Amino acid sequence: MDLFFMPLILLTIYLIYALLASFLFPDRRRPRMKLPLPPGTLGWPYVGETFQLYSQDPNIFFASKAKRYGPIFKTHILGCPCVMISSPEAAKFVLVTKSHLFKPTFPASKERMLGKQAIFFNQGPYHSKLRKLVLRAFMPDSIRSNVSDVESLAVDSLKSMEGRSIDNTFLELKTYSFNVALLSIFGKDEIKYREDLKRCYYVLEKGYNSMPINLPGTLFRKSMKARRELGQILAKILATRRQMKPEHDQHHDLLSSFMDDKEGLSDDQIADNIIGVIFAARDTTASVLTWIIKYLAENPTVLQAVTEEQEAVIKSKDESGKQRMLTWEDTKNMPLTSRVIQETLRLASILSFTFREAVEDVEYGGYLIPKGWKVLPLFRNIHHSPDIFPEPEKFDPFRFEVAPKPNTFLAFGSGAHSCPGNELAKLEMLVLLHHLTTKYRWSLTGPREGIQYGPFALPQNGLPIRMFRR
């Protein structure tokens, strides 16, 4: 049989099975409707409107729905009935005010790949403990000692890209962000495990958006095999750490935070959360950096201003006789570069939405959000609202000279489940941009229009560029 048709055949079988199951075994847990559901359509049984969502730019799908039905509407995607919300007030309600009524969740296939005990999928005391442990390793007091190591990784990454045509900038930057993630998790020991972890993780990530069909030859099956192997590698790393005598263990990384005996995390819990942190740290940061490179190339006036800011950092170090390596204090003296990062996070909105699930029937705006339904705050819709950000399609870092209104800038989420690694991500971007703008020039060599999703928003073809020394 032609292998080209195999995925289509497997998908067809899966959907037929799902359709029959939805008719033969209807969901009996559906609550009695005392309030109307939000407006909108649910599409076909089980399949819902998934094909409509992924057959076009997802943002067009969300924007057209919001225009037709308003800031709250229902749909059915990825096998789940969903309520979409696209106003700052609704986002605050779900993520902050009533966050205890909406647990974080992902599609079941992603939960299986990352691990159900990862921080993303939990709430309550267990989530609070995990968040405390992650923050312990990622707060400024902890990561400021890593600046020189992050800088070395940035310098090596850019050096590997210079003087050549780069077919996919995003893939190059994924290696950089992956190495920074491993550094933050394992400390300087990460070099010992980098290649094995990278090999398995690259297989795992290919299945993130695959249908959960556990048959030989499917991406899902291959990804789950890589996930098991990752667990075995992490078990060996944990065993090695435990063999170290306490007086010789000077680690202050995320793994050490997780292994703190007082916290009592199991090895499986540690593994789920390490894999989850890699997932959260890798593609997102690389995506943002890719967009920054595109926006700066298209806005030479902004690029010149950023370059001058970064050259001023170097000049101040030369005049004071300080070492040329960047310090934590240097990264706090880059206001325009920081605004470029903020504006990129807003305009690109690589995380278009997040998943929550109602843990009980919830009323909002006169509508019922039934227990078990997914709730998706649409970050991109909020970031691109002309009522909140004038000329929303324009790249304008100077708009962030005035702090945005509350609940309108949600690049790192909001509330108890906001991204605990945002300080590390900003450090990682600032350090790379310092060396990029002061040492290199680049030009775009591919199409300037178009967005692709995998699953995060990216410039078309991962942004092909040509990069050379200044």
Structural domain containing residue 153: 3-469
User: Domain tally for the chain?
Assistant: 1
Alpha helix stretches (DSSP H) within 162-299:
169-186, 190-206, 219-243, 254-259, 267-298
Rounded percentage of the chain residues whose pLDDT exceeds 70: 88
- pLDDT of residue 371 exceeding 90, the answer is yes
Residue 142 confidence (pLDDT): 85
- Which amino acid is present at 337? T
Residue 250 confidence (pLDDT): 57
- pLDDT of residue 24 exceeding 50, the answer is no
The helix (H) or strand (E) run that includes residue 444 is: strand 440-444
The answer to whether residues 218 and 210 touch, using CB atoms and an 8 Å cutoff, is yes
- pLDDT of residue 2 exceeding 50, the answer is no
Any residues with CB less than 8 A from the CB of 408 and at least 6 apart, and which?
Answer: 88, 382, 383, 388, 389
For 109-118, 137-146, 357-366, 456-465, which range has the lowest pLDDT when averaged over its residues? 109-118
Q: Which pTM value belongs to this model?
A: 0.86
Q: How confident is the model at residue 323 (pLDDT cuts 50, 70, 90)?
A: low
In 44-192 the beta strands, taken as DSSP E runs, fall at 72-77, 80-85, 102-104, 164-166
For 17-26, 275-284, 351-360, 421-430, which range has the lowest pLDDT when averaged over its residues? 17-26
Residue 28 confidence (pLDDT): 42
Residue 252 confidence (pLDDT): 74
CA 384, CA 394: separation in Å to the nearest integer? Answer: 10
Of residues 457, 131, 49, 95, the one with CA closest to residue 291: 457
How many Cβ atoms from other residues are within 10 Å of residue 232's Cβ? 11
432, β-bridge pairs: none
Residue 23 confidence (pLDDT): 47
Q: What dihedral do alpha carbons 152, 157, 158, 163 form, nearest 10°?
A: 130
Q: Work out the burial of residue 434: count CB atoms within 10 Å of its CB; fewer than 13 is exposed, 13-18 middle, 19 or more buried.
A: buried
| Average pLDDT taken over every residue of the chain | 85
Q: What is the pLDDT of residues 144-184, one digit of tens each?
A: 888 999 999 999 999 999 988 999 999 999 999 999 999 99
| Distance, CA of 230 to chain centre | 20
Q: What is the CATH number of the domain that holds 154?
A: 1.10.630.10
The answer to whether residues 454 and 158 touch, using CB atoms and an 8 Å cutoff, is no
Report which of residues 5 and 134 the model is more confident about.
Answer: 134
Residue 214 confidence (pLDDT): 78
DSSP state string for 314-363 = HHHHHHHT--SS--HHHHTT-HHHHHHHHHHHHHH-SS-B--EEESS-EE
419 carries a ligand binding annotation = yes
Q: How confident is the model at residue 1 (pLDDT cuts 50, 70, 90)?
A: very low
CA 256, CA 250: separation in Å to the nearest integer? Answer: 9
